[in-house]
Structure 1
Amino acid sequence: MNSIFKSTYKKALTKAYKSNLSKLWLLGGVIAVFTSSCKKTDYLDINAADRPSLGAHISFVNARPVNVGIQFWAYTTQVTKTAVAINAKSDYLDTQFGDVQINFTEGTNTSYKASRQFGNSATFTSTGGPNGPIANYYHTVFAVKNAKATADSLILFYDDLSAPAAGKAKVRFVNLAPGTPNVDFGVAGQAALFTGTAYGRTGGSVLSGAGLNTWSLGPFVSVDAGTVNFAVTQTSDHSVVNITDNKLNNVVLAAGKIYTIYINGTPGSSAIGATILTHN
């Protein structure tokens, strides 16, 4: 009887061991799959190769009335590798986002000509500046003269690069001509696209109040593609602002394209010129 009990007990123990071993292998497989899947989304792993990069995309523009190239920096990191010529822009470059100080240097000099902290304000204000660059979003930063043309400054705008409707282009207007009064901008002979645009502002921009959104500091509007003449007039009396280089006449707007048009001073004179930038 004792031998029968021992044999039966041994068989039961072996069966239980095999059953538990099978469960352990299954559990181990689940843990391995779970661990593998967690590893792919482990944002705390600094070596994770598939972790999406985080950076703001910024195009840098030299809109100062000084005929010398400049380099742009985020804190002490040089972002542009080629000097940006007067009235030219860089491609969209990956740049630090959030609370960031943007600077620029002139020519081969290493001292900053101007610096501005973006992202250190909880609200959009003319003095505190906009919130900082947004990760994986597109922006334009202008190097400019201040309103009295006595010192250099920087302005940041958010770029809505969503595609325009079929047969349309998108246009934004920026007044960067120091000393100019508020101006209206639009297609000649039609109702203005933007009215009352002050120096250092884009047409249709909002700095406070209801309706504030991420594009409010640099909104684009849709216009028909084709060849157009643009006009700039003073808001107060609708008199024409003379654009000396005639770059606003016979402007070809391609369907699907996105443009920023700005006016600014020209070197050595009080004349106002225009520049047209293409974003895509």
Structure 2
Amino acid sequence: MKTTLKNFSKTTKIICALFAITLFLSACKKDWGDYSDSVTVAGIGFVHASPGTGALDFIVDNQKANSKDFTYTKDLGYFGAYPGTRLFGVTKKDSTKYLTTSSVALQSGIFYSAFVVDLLPAPKILIVQDDLTAPATGKAKIRFINLSPDAPALDLAIDGTATALVTAKAYKEASTFVSIDPSAGYTFQIKEGNSVTATLPSTKIEAGKIYTLWAKGLKSATDSTKFGLAILTNK
């Protein structure tokens, strides 16, 4: 089985020339000539969301996805992969021993995010589907994922706004993407009932872009793994 790893640019349409884009490809053919000049692929993003876990390697079909250190809260961006069933795995940096594996069925033309979640000695891989269809004109899109292992169900809100954007997301639950006005400086809040338990101040949200906000860390921690709110740009 031949596997090639390269980065994949962010786009909502991923029907691309096989030799003209950067792809994470796995195939049971003898050579690239067995394929047509174009292929519809899936997009995969990787995020390290396992607090207290050191640098990792993310493996897809026996090939390492990250060329640099994959450390806590790091987002590797998207790669491309042929559709079908792929074996995802996580190891400690430069190790060949899997901490966890997951068989993932990928659909052509669909984007996904793969989050490393839970804690050592048994981290897991959480797969969520990403809706990268363009926001309405003049709007952005955001979603919220609760990735704090010891947190209760959480709400996502904006400071100064009475109604929460997302409510009651338990651990490992993701909201759908919701439309939002752009702003040069939102203060996002995590709420537990009426109590604000974390904030992400001075956050720029741009029209036409798509974001994921995620609860990170441990409520029981006071170090670099403490509870908080992070953001990544999907597109």
TM-score range, shorter chain: 0.7 to 0.9
Structure 1, unpaired ranges of 5+: 1-43, 119-131, 204-218
1:240 counterpart SS class: strand
Q: Alignment RMSD, CA only? A: 2.4
1:84 counterpart SS class: coil
Letter of the aligned partner of 1:103 in structure 2?
A: G
- Pair 1:104-2:90 in alignment: yes
Alpha carbons of 1:190 and 1:145: their partners in 2 closer, same or farther (altered >3 Å)? same
Alpha-carbon contact 1:74-1:95 (below 8 Å) kept: no
The residue aligned with 2:210 is: 258
Alpha carbons of 1:74 and 1:253: their partners in 2 closer, same or farther (altered >3 Å)? same
1:26-37 residue pairs with structure 2 within 5 A? none
The structure with more radius of gyration = 1
The residue aligned with 2:111 is: 138
The residue aligned with 1:193 is: 165
Farther off after superposition, 264-273 or 173-182? 264-273
Deviation at 1:105, TM superposition (A): 1.4
Structure 2, unpaired ranges of 5+: 1-28
Superimposed CA distance per residue, residues 204-246 of structure 1 (whole angstroms, 9 cap, x where no aligned partner): xxxxxxxxxxxxxxx2111000021112111xx43222x2xx4
Q: 2:195 aligns with which of 239, 258, 264?
A: 239
**TM value normalised by structure 2:** 0.76
- Pair 1:152-2:123 in alignment: yes
Structure ranking higher in strand proportion: 2
1:47 counterpart SS class: helix
Distance 1:80 1:255 in 2: 30
Q: 1:75 aligns with which of 50, 56, 61?
A: 61
Letter of the aligned partner of 2:180 in structure 1?
A: V
Distance 1:232 1:153 in 2: 24
Letter of the aligned partner of 2:71 in structure 1?
A: A
1:99 counterpart SS class: strand
Larger RCO, structure (CA 8 Å, separation 6 or more) = 2
Structure ranking higher in helix proportion: 1
**TM value normalised by structure 1:** 0.65
